[in-house]
Structure 1
Amino acid sequence: MAAAFSFSPYATLLAAGKTTTHRTGKFVLRYKPYTLELKHVFTIAAGSRSTTPVVLTELEFDGIVGYGEASMPPYLGESHESVQSFLAKVDLSAFNDPFLVEQLLDYVDHIEAGNPAAKASIDIALHDLVGKMIKQPWYRIWGYNPQHTPDTSFTIGIDEPEVVREKVREASPYKILKVKLGLDTDKMMIETIREVTDKPLCVDVNQGWKKKAFALEMAHWLAERGVVFLEQPMPKEQVDDNAWLTERSPIPTIGDEAVQRLPDVQKAYGVYHGINIKLMKCTGMREAHKMAELARALDMKVMLGCMTETSCAISAAAQLSPVVDWADLDGALLIGNDVYQGMLVQEGKVILPPRPGIGISKL
């Protein structure tokens, strides 16, 4: 059902940052805009930012509350306004059983096209709710061994050399670093980091390289300097160029912007060695799980990534971490105003809390 306010009061409510609540059958849906403050200005090939808008959700059924989140970095095209507008259209009155996860999330997905982060906020909250109802974390429901979680990388954004050195020193607990590239400072970034540490690196170009010959030259240069994989080296539209590079690259290539949802996994086969799964791209845990299974069936590498998020969405994604090759789940570590406690990182390794659902509690 639609929220009980017109667009003008809705805009006023949004500006005030208040929680919106509406009953939808036996479910109660609440959502609230929030702004994440980054500890450092975050720069990638596409631009810089110091904040990320999110919407925090709660889905209640029979007195049990599941938590969810939508995070909207600029390239997704979503915003506080668009997410709240979408959530106002969610009507779960036809569903009296939270365990009908497939049917319920199919309904949410078909309310209207797009809106993957908004949809993920419902998906995560529903998974948290169901896990709490049966008193089990999702990694156990999926049958995953929490001892098999990988190390998570820690992201170093593009910056001046001294700031890069400072960020690397701050990342001392982490065993692998993820470096943002894609500008004319690429070699400086790697050489500066190598002045401070010899840890393995992975790099994310965010579509910054445009020529395949240059990309191959850089792949060889990076491989010689301890880089273990190369994420989204060229624009996703350059399918043939990315496939050409993958065939020749000395290190694995990973599709990120090119791989949004489940149908994109099959399309990425032969174009990249692996895929980067993010809940905010693919509408949440349900589809992320399917993407991981399909990629494994195709013998592709699997990376589990994130946006700048609170520990809510990070912990939700981490439920999949025991079955991936690489994890980049540092989104909550990059902000200074988290509102949840959940997945932990100990000596660089992802630690899944035994709490039910997605494993979080409010701070």
Structure 2
Amino acid sequence: MKAPITPARPLSLTHRRDAMLMREPFRISGYLFEAMPAVTATLSDGEHSGRGEAAGVYYLDDDPAHMESEIERCREAIEAGIDRQRLRDLLPAGGARNALDCALWELESLSSGEPVWRLAGVGPPRPRLTTFTLPADDPAVVQQRLASLPTALAIKLKLAGDLAADTERVRLVRAARPHVWMGVDANQGYGGDDLDGLVAMLVDQNVALLEQPVRRGAEALLDGWRSPIPLAADESVQDLAEIDAQRARFQVINIKLDKCGGLTEALLMADHARRLGLKVMVGNMAGTTLAAAPAFVLAQLCDVVDLDGPWFLADDPLAASLYKDGEVMVPARLWGAG
């Protein structure tokens, strides 16, 4: 990753809020989403404009109102001219910093004429296999959503924290798609007493990954327990500073730009996780193609890619063009200097 360049002139900052309605309601453990509202920040130097979209972190109350408040709190420092490293010092991890960090990446790319992937040092973008996510809903709903997916070679099924009901859903999906790669996401829904029964069922159904089985703050439940399939940390690892505390409990780190505060932090996380011998996953909090574009840069470094967010939105006109034969491809020209 190249050192960030401080803008040569003052910046103008604008931001807007978007409703981000979903095609259909989407259920996970403890939540039902009908929309994933987002904030888009734009930074202009008078010649070029960079954009960044963020949905925040719903379970930390990092919603659009909070993101906009954080952006406004730092307006003077940002408009005076700021680089990505100074932004990391100015704002904590979260949606506000993500939107601004991504806007700075695009602004630097356009100003320099270099694509973001080259500035990030990840190599030319190539299509990546992506998971498509199914909700923790009634079996009939899961069946209907499964039928409506595009060609999917990898599926992530949300769990609800009820072993009997989750078993029925997992078996349903595996029977319908016997050959796809399959992972599950518990979204903090399980306690320690159910873990052995859960993973025994997952192994029986050839499930390759278990994401966030226990709640954030209760990770000690995993101490001394060895899962026969890899565990991925999502809610348990928000940013770079939290990786070391969870390194012995998880084998995969799910990096989301909204959690960690942007592509700059995400690249640092991926590098650090690799050095620790951990695998790396990129995820999303829904979001349009604009949110997927910086995450797709990170995806070039990842073992598991979960960038299906645009597919599930009702009004992203570019979404359908990103997905083909189970893969996602976000052309560099859609964000930054292509």
TM-score, normalised to structure 1, is: 0.84
Deviation at 1:118, TM superposition (A): 1.1
Is the 2:150–2:326 contact (alpha carbons within 8 Å) kept by the matching residues of 1?
Answer: no
Q: Find the counterpart in structure 2 of residue 336 from structure 1.
A: 314
After alignment, is 349-358 or 217-226 more displaced? Answer: 349-358
1:102 is aligned to 2:85: yes
Q: Determine whether 1:242 maps to 2:238.
A: no
Select which of 270, 286, 296 maps to 2:264.
286
In the alignment, residue 217 of structure 2 is paired with which amino acid? E
Aligned twin of 2:170? 190
2:235 counterpart (228, 233, 257): 257
1:27-176 map, 5 Å: 27-72=11-56, 74-91=58-75, 100-103=83-86, 105-109=87-91, 113=92, 116-146=94-124, 149-176=127-154
Q: Which moved more, 1:333-342 or 1:155-164?
A: 333-342
Give the alignment of 1:224-243 within 5 angstroms: 224-243=204-223
Contact 2:126 / 2:329 at 8 angstroms: preserved in 1? no
* Matching residue's letter, 2:85: E
* CA apart distance, 1:173: 1.1
Amino acid at match of 2:237: V
Q: Is residue 2:326 matched to residue 1:348?
A: yes
Which residue identity lines up with residue 265 of structure 1 in the other structure? I
Identity %: 28
CA contact (8 A) 1:137 1:359 kept: yes
Separation in 2, partners of 1:343, 1:319: 17
Distance in 2, Cα, partners of 1:45 & 1:350: 26
For each residue in 1:218-271, what CA deviation from the matched residue of structure 2 results, as whole angstroms up to 9, or x when unmatched? 1121122121110001112222222333xx211100111000011111111101
Partner of 2:6: none
Farther-moved stretch of structure 1 (28-37 vs 335-344): 335-344
Per-residue CA deviations over 1:271-321 (Å, capped at 9, x if unaligned) read 111110000000101100000000000010111011021111111111011
The letter for the 2-side match of 1:189 is: R
8 Å CA contact 1:153–1:175 kept in 2: the answer is: yes
- State whether structure 2 residue 175 is matched by structure 1 residue 204: no
**1:57 alignment partner, SS class:** strand
| Cα distance, 1:89 vs structure 2 | 2.0
Aligned-partner residue type, residue 41 of structure 1: P
CA contact (8 A) 1:58 1:65 kept: yes
SS of alignment partner, residue 15 of structure 2: strand
Query: CA 1:261/1:325 → structure 2, altered by over 3 Å: closer, same or farther?
Result: same
Question: Which range is displaced more, 234-243 or 145-154?
Answer: 145-154
* Structure 1 position 81, deviation (Å): 1.9
Counterpart code for 1:196: A
User: Where does structure 1 lack aligned partners over 5 or more consecutive residues?
Assistant: 1-24
SS across alignment from 1:55:
strand
For the aligned residues, what is the CA RMSD?
2.3
Relative contact order, higher structure (CA 8 A, sep 6+): 2
Alpha-carbon distance, 1:136 to partner: 2.5
Kept in 2, the 8 Å contact 1:146–1:351? The answer is no
Q: Which runs of 5+ in 2 are unaligned?
A: 1-8
Q: For the structure 1 residues 357 and 335, does the alpha-carbon distance in structure 2 shift closer, same or farther, using more than 3 Å as the test?
A: closer
- Tell me if structure 2 keeps the 8 A contact 1:315–1:359: no
Cα gap change, 1:327/1:242 in structure 2, threshold over 3 Å: closer, same or farther?
same
The amino acid across from 1:60 in the alignment is S
> What is aligned with 1:221?
201
2:275 to 293, 297, 301: 297
CA distance in 1: counterparts of 2:77 and 2:212, whole angstroms: 41
Q: Matched residues in 1 for 2:186 and 2:313: separation? A: 22
**Moved beyond 4 Å, runs of 4+:** 92-98, 339-343, 356-360
Q: 1:57 to 1:183 in 2, by over 3 A?
A: same
Amino acid of the structure 1 residue aligned with 2:116: W
Moved more, 327-336 or 182-191: 182-191
Whether the aligned pair in 2 keeps the contact of 1:68 and 1:124 (CA below 8 Å) is yes
For the residue of structure 2 that corresponds to 1:244, the secondary structure is coil
State whether residues 175 and 200 of structure 1, in contact with CA within 8 Å, keep that contact through their aligned partners in structure 2: yes
Partner amino acid, structure 2, of 1:280: D
